[in-house]
Amino acid sequence: MDKDMFLEEKAKQIKTGTTTVGLVCTDGIIMASDRRATMGYFIASKDVQKIFQIDEHLSMTVAGSVADAQAVVRLMQAEVKLYRFRHGHNITPKAATTLLSNIMFQYKFYPFYVQLLLGGVGGERGGEIYSLDPLGGVTDEKYVSTGSGSPMAYGYLEDAYVKDGTVKDNLHVAARAIATAMKRDSATGEFVDLVTVTKAGFRRHERAEVEKLLAK
């Protein structure tokens, strides 16, 4: 397969549709996503994980090609374990982001067709979230959304995000941002997956908890 055919095939894979959200809080971070995976107009799966635990205090959301996303997650999980083995302590969110950015830049001619959010605790701030594009470009964010439903999610986050708020203050905001996108974006659907990362560690909230938040 030549380069042009390869890139064309990869471009087709990215059309999976999703919505992910990341919020920075004073005591940690919140990440949320939907659970639908699509292939064009076809719903390929109704229960796909898009938020992954990278380390005890690190989390990542993925949007884009499923195969590429899973490969990046496995790579980062391995690299973070290796870092802890070599240095005797956990990697910080900023250092993990720099590592991932360098890896993705090395593949710029055959890139991973993904948009990623990587964040957690353990750095100089209460929580940190970074957005990475397929070539490894990085932006430091307070609140951010990726995927096909991100315009709808941003519309809600612009007004509802509690600046300098705690995880508890913003938990319903993240959940409702995804729920808002689900109402208008056909590629975003099923139910809301909600994860928090604090000094206590990584926690994936039960579906019943999320439904209670959305019912308020």
Active site residues: 18
The end-to-end CA distance of the chain, in Å, is 53
State how far the Cα of 17 lies from the Cα of 138, in Å rounded to an integer: 21
